[in-house]
Structure 1
């Protein structure tokens, strides 16, 4: 049997609906979006160069991807194992751990990216 192919328009619509669902239902996704907005505003105010922007965009994207995958794993586990089960807990905890590692990676990238520009800005205030 030939698999059904969605139109490109429909595929994008499904992807956007998935992102919006995660934003609407997941507290951590809202936190990640707020943090990303703060980071991007700070990067714009400090007039960071393209390479620094690239690292920030990469870090934010990794966090968003990890959180979306975590949300998908949780939904699948809830569907197939509505009752508590040790393997369901392991799957959910592991997916949450991946999102945590991504967020920690983003914090480290943020420190590395912002340290020098913020230090230079603070020095300019005192001179």
Structure 2
């Protein structure tokens, strides 16, 4: 195993995440939402399992956004002119982000509403 190549791969991956933060509006929106959710979680007092679920959901959203951005870039290279299948590929990748985002909101509400209900009433 070449440790130099192994550690260099972390540098490449970090560049990808930094590029996404700088260039992808939706990634920044999800980053902000993740921070807000983490602050709400700190204020709410979640169980260990609830924390695990929240962290997996937040990180999963980042992963989906990075994959979506990658698909968009590859499609743009492969099909610089308009092509219906290229549009569909990009729409499908964006659709995956939307489905996952809706899922995270639903799970978040299932976790947070009972706790907030107990605090408010």
2:92 to 94, 104, 116: 94
- Residue 37 in 1 paired to residue 41 in 2? no
Aligned to 1:83, the other structure's residue is in SS state: coil
Q: Which runs of 5+ in 2 are unaligned?
A: none
Q: TM-score, normalised by structure 1?
A: 0.90
Q: Which runs of 5+ in 1 are unaligned?
A: none
- Residue 115 in 1 paired to residue 113 in 2? yes
Structure 1 residue 90 displacement after superposition: 0.7
Taking only aligned residues, the RMSD between alpha carbons, in angstroms, comes to 1.5
Q: Distance in 2 between matches of 1:92 and 1:28?
A: 14
Higher helix content, 1 or 2: 2
Structure 1 residue 64 displacement after superposition: 0.9
Aligned to 1:48, the other structure's residue is in SS state: coil
Q: Where does structure 1 differ by over 3 angstroms across 4 or more consecutive aligned residues?
A: none
Match of 1:22 in 2: 20
Q: Distance in 2 between matches of 1:49 and 1:34?
A: 23
Alignment: residue pair count = 120
Q: TM-score, normalised by structure 2?
A: 0.94
Is the contact made by 1:74 and 1:92 (CA closer than 8 Å) also made in structure 2?
Answer: yes
Structure 1 residue 88 displacement after superposition: 0.5
Is the contact made by 1:55 and 1:113 (CA closer than 8 Å) also made in structure 2?
Answer: no
Structure 1 residue 48 displacement after superposition: 1.1
Match of 1:12 in 2: 10
